[in-house]
Amino acid sequence: EPEVTQTPSHQVTQMGQEVILRCVPISNHLYFYWYRQILGQKVEFLVSFYNNEISEKSEIFDDQFSVERPDGSNFTLKIRSTKLEDSAMYFCASTETGKTEAFFGQGTRLTVV
Amino acid sequence: KNQVEQSPQSLIILEGKNCTLQCNYTVSPFSNLRWYKQDTGRGPVSLTIMTFSENTKSNGRYTATLDADTKQSSLHITASQLSDSASYICVVSAQRAGNMLTFGGGTRLMVKP
């Protein structure tokens, strides 16, 4: 069964460093999303992406964040200068055009030290 | 502001028993409501998706209800199994570009033998 895959599963980085979280959405899906979940808190929307541009973004998604679809399969989230409060589980999701169901990856646990 | 509230926050039941989880939302304009199951450290997995016109939807031992007038939903689990132990998250989608999902805080269910 097709699935959304995310790498790495766990990333530890020093404060101030740049990180890139990678996602491979399901192949025929055209809507892509990033969500995050701080430990013990709700899952929060970060950004949605369609047709090579951002469709919507939340207040969390400030200038430190960026997304890119560098090729036909990958979808990345970059955090330019990580802060301690960026430590969270980051989930990628994708949706097929015309459908409502979002399929989530297993997440990348980012730990900023 | 779009919000999704769930109750109870946590629940412990014995294997074989039934339980009902509650969700209230203030998301506008409403598009659909989903229930997800999330195992610890994993991505959410969809159980049901309900649109405005649907009152009840079943998926095996899971039955979701939706009252769009009162903006309430419930998830009923029958004949619980140990593998049902997880967080159950109510997620509401608004009719807007980007298809942003608003997550509830989840109900952490523990099924004991």
C-beta atoms of B101 and A45 within 8 A: yes
Whether residue A1 has pLDDT greater than 80 = no
User: Residues of A with CB below 8 A from B46's CB?
Assistant: 101-103
pLDDT at A38: 95
User: Residues of B with CB below 8 A from A58's CB?
Assistant: 100
Q: Burial-class residue A50 by CB neighbours within 10 Å (0-12, 13-18, 19+).
A: middle
DSSP symbol at A101: P
B104 touching A, CB under 8 A? yes
Write the pLDDT tens digit of every residue in A19-56. 999 999 998 898 999 999 999 899 999 999 998 899 98
pLDDT level of residue A2 (50, 70, 90 thresholds): confident
Give chain B's mean pLDDT. 93
Residues 17-76 of B with CB under 8 A from A: 31-32, 34, 41-46, 49
Write the pLDDT tens digit of every residue in B35-72. 999 998 888 999 999 998 899 999 999 999 999 999 99
Whether residue A72 has pLDDT greater than 90 = no
Q: Burial-class residue B66 by CB neighbours within 10 Å (0-12, 13-18, 19+).
A: buried
C-beta atoms of A109 and B41 within 8 A: yes
pLDDT level of residue B33 (50, 70, 90 thresholds): very high
pLDDT at B98: 62
- Neighbour tally for B100: CB within 10 Å: 22
Q: Which residue in B89, B99, B105 is closest to A31 by CB distance?
A: B99
Q: Which residue in B31, B93, B98 is closest to A55 by CB distance?
A: B98
> Are A67 and A77 contacting, i.e. CB atoms less than 8 angstroms apart?
yes
C-beta atoms of B41 and A89 within 8 A: yes
pLDDT level of residue B23 (50, 70, 90 thresholds): very high
pLDDT at A8: 96
For the ranges A47-56, B3-12, B74-83, the lowest mean pLDDT is seen at A47-56
